Structure 1
Amino acid sequence: MTAMTATILILTTVSLLSTGKKFRWCTLSDLEQRKCAELSKVLLNVLPPATISSFGRVSCIRAHNTHDCIEKIRVNKADAASLDAGDVYSAVKLYGLTVVAKEVYVEGTCMFAVAVARRGELNIQKLKGTRSCHNGARWTSGWNIPFGFLLAKKYLMWDENQPLTHAISGYFNASCIPGIGITTPQLCILCQGQKSYIREKNHFCESSGDEPFYASEGAFRCLKSGIADVAFLDHLTMRNATESEQEYELLCPDGSTASLNAYATCNLGHGPGHAIVTRYNFQKITKKFLTLIQNLFGKKGKEKARFELFTSAPFSGKNLLFHDATQYLQVVEEEAELSHVLGLDYVALLQALGHEGSSLSNSLVRWCCISSAELQKCEEWALNVKSDPLVCVQADSMINCIELIKNNVADAVTLDATHTYFAKKCGLVPVVAECYVAFVSCPPHEKIILVDDLMQLVYLATPSLFSGLMLQDKFSPKARREEGQEISTPRTALPPTFAVALAKKNDKHIKIHNLEGRRSCHSHVYSPGGWLLLSQYTVGALENESLSCNISSAFQDFFWKSCMPGANGNLCKVCIGQKEMEGGKGLARCAANHNERYYGNMGTLRCLLGDPSGRNFGDVAFLEHHNLLQNIEYLESSGWGTGNTPSDFELLCPDGHRAAIEDWKACNLGLVPPNIVVTRSMAVSKVNDFLRQSQEPSLGSTFQLFQSQQYGESDLLFKDATHYLAPTSHLDYEAIIGTSFFQLVESVFNCTHADILDICRQDTCTYAAPH
């Protein structure tokens, strides 16, 4: 920025602020008062003399605590303050204030929440009964993130009919959580602020600088004083740890520990940093004021030699007015939703922790359905559950479900392996995975035979599923080797399905290597078998340097026309939608759900056969092998594929040959990992318990969770091939779907655009230089 431009900006800002009224900044300590007063003094010295009388001064309003600060701004006794994101949420939701700017650090707009203890004394999994210090009540790194983590891992148990403070009081032996209030004395017992019956003189356990253990510096001081065992604070305090403080270490989520400077990899999660709030009708003036002082006194300010906005050392303190680690203030767009300012995941976490009071949704499981057929099955499921009530939420695609779960409108959905990559990038977590060939049916208390020895993983994780049953490793790879059986396919942690290419037997000229320019049928866009794995045998196999690595675009050029539900252009020309209309295509044509009759595994078969009128068909279908024979038989009996039997179809093999339809183990396009149920981290326990109870036999009920043909479709809510749902919350996505598949997905989306990834990137903490 040139000197002339800066001068014009300053004069413009001053003219906008020329109301003859002081700009009132709310402070929380005497040291902040000193820094604020110096800002006011220096500002008057650097502004053009002609504007000083009309501008007025910065006035520093001393508040008793953060709540008092918020109230003073609300009633027009102060104008702005920088607050922790937890207090920002309360200020906006409960007091009608608005956010005007965010602090940006080297790591971005977010903070890592860390747990600190003396070396060799603790791990994060065994904190019950210890003494704790926290930077502030309902603050991001001292309350929201750590308690969200402890609850999600079930280290801390919470009966939501009771206040969360009740559960915390029973978990820790003693604590100092500034700002928690006098109703929970156990959580203040370690604090050291001055006590008094006079409110203005009482600083004990208050969220202000007069409580020695307030904020992250105070929480660390509390730990170092020896009266506590663990401190919960933000990573910014760790950045400047001294050699004398190396006797302390970080507690990592997996139970290990790390040095204080390893906060990027050893933390309990991240959340938004501090933000500046003001009244709604004062936001324009506040933004102009912040722009002015930042241009003058920020990291690149023209007057920073006189005063440094983000430095507190000259005033014998730390993090006064703003965090010392602040690189610059990022002005928030006007009318920006709070969920987008603080992040969708963070807002959902606060709601789950009861920041808006108890909610009916906490006692419900809201399942996301992507079609009218799924909604019908879900509603019948809801009538047959004997656990928490089930509510069925309507969406139009798996991607839409991911958005609804992030926005806390829905709780759970089953996703294919490609969409679980999106879920991971969007901050959702796995709950259970579908298990397809888990074990053969047998009466209770008799021997159970595992088809795959890797199912031992499931047994070790959830032995209760096998209660009363004996395990036999008869069909393990080791046992089959001993019997001389060849094992040619790599294994994932749970049994996969196979992606196959299917053609009509009498179309002998169609091979896997001559599909370019043909009509194709795919279960849906981004499907593991019909989109991702297929690309390696079609568009990915072309030796054309000009070909874009964007798979979606490449498919448009490769096939003549297709039905790939959820896509567009010629990839939708074969689709027929929900209902054939006279003179045109049907409703929901090419929709990424079962309302498009060519969607999914059964829909892909319909597409290959063509509609009953003999139109709109493909030359080849890409789908998964599970329930393939049953689906062909169902379409024949239902009248869609009259006269067609499994013997009328053949598989297209990667080597160019064709094979019988039952030969999918030898003739396939690759392994498709199991589908996974995903949710938000705070809802894992609720969804997992609900699914466990949903799988238990219900006396007198005819509802089948893993059957769909009675609704006229296949694979509704879950794949019909599912035997049971295996808990996977102790695993990450890569462990569930396999490293090779995960790496393939990641490489593809490095250059293939997906809108959902753009949406979720907006919810992450990335550093961007100021414009």
Structure 2
Amino acid sequence: MQPIVAEKYAATAGDDGMNYYSVAVVRRNSIYGSGAGTGTQLGNGLLGSNACFPGIGTAAGWLYPISVMLQNGDIKVTECNAVVKAVTDFFHNMCLPGALTSFYNPFGNNPTEICQLCKGTSGTKCSTKDPSAGYDGAFRCLQNGDGDVAFLRHDTLIHLTNNASSEFVLLCPNGGTRDIQDYKNCNYGSIPANTIMTSALQDVKTRAAYKQFLLQASEWFGVGKPYVSLFNMFSSDAWLGYGGQRNLLFTDTTQELVDVGDRDTYYKWVDAKFYDNVEKLNQCPLNYAKWCVISGGEKSKCENMMMAFGAKDLKPKLDCVLGKSADHCMQLIADGDADMMTLDSGDVYLAGEKYGLKPIAAEDYGNMEASFYVVAAAWKRNPTMTLFNLKDKRACMAGMGRGDGWIVPVSIFIETEQFVPQYCSIFENIGQLFIRTCIPGALDSEYNPNQYPISLCEGCAAGGYKKCQRNQIEQYYGATGAFRCLVENGGDVAFVRHLTVRDNTDARNHAIWARNRRSDDYELMCKDGTRKPIDEWRTCHLGKLPSNAVVTGKHKSEEDVNIYWQLLNYGQQFFSSDTLHIEVFDVFYGEERFEKVPALLKKLSLKYNEIQLKIEHTYLQANTFTH
């Protein structure tokens, strides 16, 4: 949007009247209006009072006064992205029209006190149509005795009191009170005048025509102009019968419209103070939340997430830190150089044991338990293969150390006596069991110091240095990658998650490799040697594991953890979808950051921790004979 003309509130020449002031108004005979000269601070004096606001988001009635009170420390911020709750903790009852809309109340949990003083009924209460909405409505809220203070424009107050009322006074931010005419010495800031805007997509000629039309109308129907008796552009008196609202189309105190000149963008029109107040209104105890990623794909997706969060002005600001590996990211978080990352359940256990990291949020796939099942998927056309005759077959596994791609499968190999780990390492056992595998990360010295046998990576798809890397550079990494390995005939069996097959077939995944894949071409291999359709994973799975989780450092305080969780929760509220079989929370979900299934993040519960504890025995069993 682009401003073309602006309201002017004084008939004099020059820049006089090109702004208005934010003021706090109280009744002179109240305890708030009788403190002239006492030095009583605004914030301290108004604690526990009833407040009338014209509407959330208004400059004079919300942005400027609340920003000042936040800066002065009168209003304490305990939860980022929730300034309404902080304001509610300071005042008693309020009328704050618009505060229940989804933008300002995404979780539907704003306190009821924010609408206690509003006079609307049914669908109008606490909305922009409420009788107490707008600057005139907020003044009525004060005038009728419902509120102790009203936050207004200075000219609205003067207009409604005919510039002569001694009943009201201004309450100054630096202490004391002043008469309503002394607004230049008792205000919360000077605000640029309102503008009429149009789409920046309109061509120059069209915008010029709009501008000329409005300026000519102002010359004919403005205050003191030739045809004002026929129609007064800047008065709402004739329409007060329609709900009593003023400032219809234009502010009633406007004298004329003027050309904005070269200040024809929003950023040129508002001043630095305005931006500063916006920042103050969204202040957060933490400035940044640094997310650690381990590949170029992850970094790109993280940057998209960062821009999406920034567009909603979510705090703390998200930043992306590129680590060399999952283990390196764990180290960065432990050292305080990064704050969060997403890990598979196997890595969550390792991160806790090795670096003391703690999970703070987990994916939930609809079972309300933040868990998933590991399954063995195979082509239906190979019906004789079971979990008991895997010798000389080819295997696709999600990744070294992962719960779905290593811990559970290796435990199953031992349980079904595919090999007995005595004299050889697990890697050699698997190399002897399968003729070829793809286990991303299996030849990393971090996991396999001997880097042998090479057959553990021969089934992987990437070339050169990218081959078998334990990140998205390797096409067959992760549960989706392991299934792709099976689909592209890189293996005979894929160890994946219970939803992986369903989510990558029947047109649910639009990637080229997944097109025209039918779910009924695949079956699950069960622990008893039988095979079942892919949707019978509840009775044909290899084990249950905790879902992917977001982890942070053990040194983080409870306040920090809550701030991180709120950032993620607001993010998924703005960028998620409740429609199944759609890639929800698209900024996050996908193998790059979160598992590519219909999922939401949940704050960790005791149930998750109970499941996480059960992984310890399985993890140790799968790694006892690694070396």
Q: Which TM-score band applies after superposition, normalised by the shorter structure?
A: 0.3 to 0.5
TM (norm. structure 2) is 0.47
TM (norm. structure 1) is 0.39
The higher radius of gyration belongs to 2
